[in-house]
Amino acid sequence: MPETRTYTGGCHCGKIRFEVKTELDRVLSCNCSICSKAGWLLAFVPTESFTLQSGAEVLSDYQFAKKRIHHLFCPDCGIHPFGRGIAPDGRDTWAVNARCLEGIDVEALAVTRFDGKSL
């Protein structure tokens, strides 16, 4: 059974820092235009499991298509550590880029492929 742990992460330059509580039992690899170009490996967490520690004042927000998802990134180093939006059940959710978490071997994660290109 997966264990809920607390992970820290951030962007490359360190201006954006966050903490997330998750099981990290699987991540999603989406083939949509932005996820595939940014190389995201997504772990979805509810709002109460995510804490932005620093960088709120510098975050840039990019939205496209239906403008339902806030693709947040650091304007200085260009890294996309997380995004936020509404889950299918209607709750606020954060999509954390597992590649931005510290101490994670992304090659060891169970990856689920998602065909976002077809949406």
Of 110, 109, 82, give the one whose Cα is nearest residue 94.
82
- 119 inside domain: no
Here the CATH number for the domain that contains residue 34 is: 2.170.150.70
Alpha carbons 39 and 16: distance in angstroms, whole number: 18
Domain count, the chain: 1
Ordered per-residue pLDDT tens for the chain, 119 residues? 578 999 999 999 999 999 999 999 889 999 999 999 999 999 999 999 999 999 999 999 999 888 889 999 999 999 999 999 998 899 999 999 999 999 999 999 999 999 988 88
Residue 25's domain comprises 5-113
Alpha carbons 91 and 73: distance in angstroms, whole number: 22
- 118 inside domain: no
Do the beta carbons of residue 29 and residue 115 sit within 8 Å? no
